[in-house]
Amino acid sequence: LIEALLSGGQTQRDAIDKHERDVLTNDILQDLFRDYTAAEKKGDVPAMEAAIRSIATAKPDFPHLPRLWVDREVAREDWPTAAARLLAIENEQVAVMSAALISRRFDDKNGLPGEKLLGAVATILAKHETKDSSVRASLARIQWKQGRKSEATATAHRVADDPGILPPAPLKEFAASFEKGRPQTLEELIEAVSAASPTPGGQ
């Protein structure tokens, strides 16, 4: 799931939509979530908020409500509030998903969210980095953006040292790029991993 989230584009959207549909239990909630998704794509903050409040009314225990509120604050560029809401998410899976989405959103952009939000993202990713190499890669990128270059380089090397089922060569190159002071983006890493992975049915 995290790899799909980090891949961006339609793959990312499909992963999120499937995960949300697994939780949504009736047509009304699905319609409300479609309203939210449409508003988010347009950057329509008032419509996002209206959809979130409708979802909260229809299903107060919807586990992804905290993530939607974080997204609303990110859309408003209210970085301190987004950071506070992110750190307050109790569901670990939802917290990691939210942090990973923020990491991916700003990974290849010059404009950065505020330091408080970067710090919150780094805190959550660091807490869960051992569970997924892609989470660790995101953490390395965030640490670099924070100016914590030695820590980012060490984190990138942990990606290479523990490739799991991923091909090791692109992960080693990812770590090397930090040593050179020109760290690869997550998109570049994903493309390299994809190119190095055997095709389905191949050797």
- Residue 32's pLDDT is what? 86
The interaxial angle of helices 168-179 and 186-196, nearest 10 deg, is: 150
Please report which confidence band the pLDDT of residue 202 belongs to, taking 50, 70 and 90 as the band edges: very low
Q: Maximum Cα–Cα distance for the chain, whole Å?
A: 52
Whole-model pTM? 0.78
The residue-averaged pLDDT of 156-161 equals 93
pLDDT digits (tens, 9 = 90+) for 168-180: 999 999 999 999 9
Q: Is 52 buried (19+), middle (13-18) or exposed (0-12) by CB count in 10 A?
A: buried
Q: What integer best gives the mean pLDDT of the chain? A: 86
Angle in degrees, 0-180, between the axes of helices 79-88 and 92-106, rounded to the nearest 10: 150
- The confidence score (pLDDT) of residue 105 equals 87
Rg (CA), the chain: 17
pLDDT in tens, 4-57: 555 566 776 777 676 666 555 566 777 888 899 899 989 899 999 999 999 999
pLDDT at 67 exceeding the cut of 50:
yes
**Of 24-38, 94-108, 125-139, where does the model show the most confidence?**
94-108
Question: Which pLDDT score is estimated for 203?
Answer: 43
- pLDDT score, position 22: 59
Q: For residue 178, count CB atoms less than 10 angstroms from its CB and return exposed for 0-12, middle for 13-18, buried for 19 or more.
A: buried
pLDDT band at 131 (very low <50, low <70, confident <90, very high): low
Res 111: pLDDT: 63
Question: Residue 44 corresponds to which tokens in the numbers above?
Answer: 């329509």
Least-confidence region, from 91-95, 109-113, 123-127, 190-194: 109-113
Task: Please determine, for residue 99, whether its predicted confidence score (pLDDT) is greater than 90.
Answer: yes
Residue with the larger pLDDT of the pair 19 and 79:
79
Terminal Cα distance for the chain, rounded:
25
Whether 93 and 130 have beta carbons less than 8 Å apart is answered as no
